[in-house]
Amino acid sequence: MTFKRMELEDWFDRYQFEFDYDIGESGIKFFSTGDLGLDFSNIELRYGHHKGAPELRELIASDFPGLKMSQVAVTNGASESIFAVMASLLGRQDHVVVEAPNYPSLYEIPSSLERDVSLYFLRYEEGFRLNLERLKEEIKPNTKLVCLTHPNNPTGSVITESELNEVIRFVESRNLYLLMDETYRDLAFDTPPPLAATISPRAISVSSMSKAFGVPGIRIGWVAGLESLIDSVRAVREQITICNSSVSEKIAFAILERKQSFLEKARKTVYTNYKIMDKWIRERSDVEWISPAGGVVGFPRLVEDKSSEDLCTLLIERYKTFVVPGYCFKMPRYFRLGFGGDREEIEKGLEMLDKALADIGTK
């Protein structure tokens, strides 16, 4: 078993503190503790519950009609949820199909665990929409798990309710499991489909405080599904993190108690910035994209069929502007843009991107 570095996180590790303008981040602009107005004076700094604080689990479970608190575990970010689910579900002979492009841990975790992994790629020519028939082609006799993310990171594509139901009917017919990463669900531009775990016991929902709520630093995520799966997730967690930070759980609870007010502001900011970015791209002849339908990121590509790595490196090193090159998602021609920041930062970042594109001769 060998864990290797993710190219995406290596890029972040090198450059995420070196920029003046961030138009590549995958969440809304982060908050500080002062922004939240919380009282930290009486938080008990003790070990917490291994599945997460009961009041926090209860609050999260209230968004899942038909599910109980016992079907929810709170984890150290969605990444730990994904790791724990895969370590629990996938035996040595099992196969997993992962939608791509995607956050790399979804395929690097099973690969590092020496499980059989296949990637099903969304295609630009199909509008980055789910193609279930092509997905089915990746299924093997030993397939155990299918992993999807919608709204997708980095393309911003969404899955409809009818498409989600069709996927679930398929996994049920084959006795598979569906892991649905719903981290961006609350930032869909239109009404999102139901939470996957509420539709079928073969569906597992994963989400996080990091993207839609602007607090990635508290490292709080959750997983919802069968109670037996949640018990297995706890067993895995006890070998690595045991429990969550008590401070982080208090922050998450305080935010989720006011969930709608946080999301209302976030949606307004995100959609305004998206329109700015969409207009900027549509007026260009050197860059094109499939307009995102949700989330805070999009995945434009260079019209000229070449890697974006030189562009992204030039952009950060000369213009102190952060974006993510497509090779981090196994699609070198593309690059990830994020529109979750302040409007002024988005506009200035696009101005710097224009200069970098001119420098590499795309005009």
Residues 63-113: tens digit of each pLDDT: 999 999 999 999 999 999 999 999 999 999 999 999 999 999 999 999 999
Within 142-221, residue ranges assigned H as helices are 161-173
Place of tokens 């009917």: 169
Superfamily holding 7-26+260-359? Aspartate Aminotransferase, domain 1 (3.90.1150.10)
pLDDT value of residue 231: 97
The sign one gets for the Cα dihedral 176, 241, 214, 350 is negative
pTM: 0.96
Residue 38 clears pLDDT 90, i.e. is over it: no
Judged by average pLDDT, the poorest of 35-49, 235-249, 275-289 is: 35-49
Q: What is the largest CA-CA distance in the chain?
A: 58
Angle at CA 311, nearest 5°, toward 17 and 212? 50
- Between the two ends of the chain, the Cα-to-Cα distance in Å is 47
Quickly name the fold that domain 44-257 has.
Answer: Aspartate Aminotransferase; domain 2 (3.40.640)
Residues 263-293: tens digit of each pLDDT: 999 999 999 999 999 999 999 999 999 999 9
pLDDT value of residue 36: 84
Among candidates 231, 281, 291, 276, which has minimal Cα distance to 73?
231
Residue 302 bridge partners (DSSP): 287
Please check whether residue 77 is in contact with residue 219, taking contact to mean a CB–CB distance below 8 angstroms. Answer: yes
Within the chain, residue ranges assigned H as helices are 7-15, 33-36, 54-61, 77-89, 105-112, 132-136, 161-173, 227-237, 246-257, 259-282, 309-319, 343-359
Q: What is the mean pLDDT of residues 210-230?
A: 97
Please check whether residue 298 is in contact with residue 337, taking contact to mean a CB–CB distance below 8 angstroms. Answer: yes
Please check whether residue 263 is in contact with residue 186, taking contact to mean a CB–CB distance below 8 angstroms. Answer: yes
Q: Average pLDDT, whole number, for the chain?
A: 96
pLDDT value of residue 362: 58
Please check whether residue 139 is in contact with residue 97, taking contact to mean a CB–CB distance below 8 angstroms. Answer: yes
pLDDT value of residue 301: 98
Please check whether residue 242 is in contact with residue 74, taking contact to mean a CB–CB distance below 8 angstroms. Answer: no
Q: What is the mean pLDDT of residues 174-188?
A: 98
Q: What is the mean pLDDT of residues 239-256?
A: 96
Please check whether residue 72 is in contact with residue 60, taking contact to mean a CB–CB distance below 8 angstroms. Answer: yes
Question: CATH 3.90.1150.10 region(s) of the chain?
Answer: 7-26+260-359
Residues 111-139: tens digit of each pLDDT: 999 999 999 999 999 999 999 999 999 99
Among candidates 104, 149, 121, which has minimal Cα distance to 4?
104
Question: CATH 3.40.640.10 region(s) of the chain?
Answer: 44-257
Alpha-carbon gap, residue 339 to 24, rounded angstroms: 8
